[in-house]
Amino acid sequence: MTGNTTPSGLPILIVEDDAAILELLEEELQEAGYQTLGVCSAEEALATMSHSDVALIISDVRLPGSSGMQLLEQLRSEGNPLGFIVITAFGTIDQAVEALKIGADDFLTKPLDLEGVREAVYRVLESRRLAERFHQNHPPSHFHGIVGESETMQALFHDAARLAKSDAPILVQGESGTGKELLARAIHAESPRNEEPFIAINCASIPSELMESEFFGHVKGAFTGASDSRQGLFQAANGGSLFLDEIGEMSIGLQAKLLRALQEKTVKAVGAEKEESVDVRIIAATHRELEQEIESGNFRSDLFYRLETFSLRIPPLRERNGDIERLISALIEKHATAQGKQIESVEPSALQALLEYSYPGNVRELENAVMRAVTLAEGGLLSHADLPERIRQHGLEQRSNARYLEAGNAVVAAEKQQNWPSLEEVEKRYIQKVLEATGGNKRRTADILGIARRTLYRRLDDE
């Protein structure tokens, strides 16, 4: 197999404490056209990977210090998808099954069949190439429940997955209703902390005089009404993630204490004499422009720069071309299942209205609209009448405007032919177009035309 290469020419990392076997493997794979790196322990392997990308790991099970199985477990727990081949002189069926359960791609035993090693390496690398190609051609349509196939959302999912592996604070920015808490929960689920608590708090919902106690806890007798000691949000989220929504609403005094907690990883309960250590990953969110809040003296610049080092912006729905139809489908399924209903079809005019609406409230507004429509839907059909009035009305106005433009074009064409219609004829034509757009609903037609229904009836009677 001379001339083989790994993806992007990355080396194969061999972890083997027997110098003769390490040398043999390196020579064999180099002759086959691969680059190699050789180390003698799992600790050296991790150190090497911290500064060098590799395509595949071949590791002995028995190593000084951590074993090859422990190395594999650590990489998989961190979500590292690298190809991994386990080699051992003490191979048993049980050990092979255990390695494959943990996430090994192959399992070989000593004495090594060198041709078998080459074949295993080729097979694992080829499998990874195919998986990567499929992933690029078929990107995931969701990220821990967040739906999005548009380029902007795919880029967001990619960045969020990368940042999730870090313990650094993250600032999530975006308009109201874009799903900032959903993204924070997804980051936590993707992180090594995913089995620890995720606690969310809206800073705007806590009275300023209670914020410090809520965040850091208090001891008994710390203030009037403190009849018992109570842990704060930081202590409750210890080991996990704390989501601070609308952090722009936090008081300047508490911002200083939050900054200290981030820097020192300690908090002090109200009324306590000593600080206590906490291990919390902060994810903050805001719909405000914090730079403007800094200029107006409402937000600390040092806290902003601490949080903004890693920031994510969720695009508004109007910038997510191609996502709305998939979101509608996903939301209909979600709420129909929750309500024990089966929605078999959507009326074309209802789908058109949902697709055309601008959604100033973003995904939250879309979800509320779909939930309402599913609740009202009968006979397995989600109809135009089931939608909120503002969305129905918007759709009608869009269509009536199109009809009005069509009528105007007809006037221009007639003018070019010097066949000028009278103003009364243009008015009648326009009324008929709006009436058609509303499906004959005279009340809605009158509302769109801006006239009383009696006036509409009179003009229709004149025709």
Predicted confidence at residue 181, as pLDDT, reads 95
Flag whether pLDDT at 2 surpasses 50.
Answer: no
Q: Whose structure tokens read 């001379």?
A: 2
Residues 171 and 120 in one domain: no
* 199 φ/ψ angles, rounded to the nearest 5 degrees: -120, 130
Confidence of residue 133 (pLDDT cuts 50, 70, 90): low
Residues 200 and 302 in one domain: yes
Q: For the ranges 32-36, 132-136, 339-343, 401-405, which has the lowest average pLDDT? A: 132-136
Residues 155 and 188 in one domain: yes
- Please report whether residue 85 resides in a domain: yes
Confidence of residue 127 (pLDDT cuts 50, 70, 90): low
- Please report whether residue 402 resides in a domain: yes
Residue pair 6/34 in contact by the 8 Å Cβ criterion: yes
Domain boundary among 365, 385, 408: 408
- pLDDT tens readout for residues 201-236: 998 888 877 888 888 988 887 777 777 888 889 999
What is the average per-residue pLDDT within 23-46?
A: 92
Residues 266 and 380 in one domain: no
Residues 148 and 278 in one domain: yes
Q: What is the mean pLDDT of the chain?
A: 84
Cα R_g (the chain), whole angstroms: 32
Q: What is the enclosing helix (H) or strand (E) of 396?
A: helix 389-416
Q: What tokens appear for 189 in the block?
A: 């689920």
Predicted confidence at residue 463, as pLDDT, reads 59
State the CATH number of the domain containing residue 66.
3.40.50.2300
Higher pLDDT, 83 or 37: 37
Residue pair 128/83 in contact by the 8 Å Cβ criterion: yes
Residues 238 and 90 in one domain: no
Predicted confidence at residue 184, as pLDDT, reads 96
Residues 32 and 127 in one domain: yes
Q: What is the enclosing helix (H) or strand (E) of 164?
A: helix 151-164
CB-based contacts of 37, cutoff 8 Å, min separation 6: 11, 12, 13, 14, 48, 52, 54
Give the residue numbers spanning the domain of 95: 12-136
- pLDDT tens readout for residues 233-278: 999 999 999 999 999 989 888 899 899 988 899 988 888 888 899 9
- Please report whether residue 324 resides in a domain: no
- pLDDT tens readout for residues 400-409: 555 555 555 5
Flag whether pLDDT at 443 surpasses 80.
Answer: no
Q: What tokens appear for 249 in the block?
A: 């609403």
Secondary structure class of 447 (helix, strand, coil): helix
Asked if residue 169 has a cis previous peptide bond (ω within 30° of 0), the answer is no
- How far apart CA 123 and CA 256 sit, in angstroms, is 55
Confidence of residue 94 (pLDDT cuts 50, 70, 90): low
Cα torsion at 349, 350, 353, 358 (round to 10°)? -170
Domain boundary among 103, 136, 169: 136
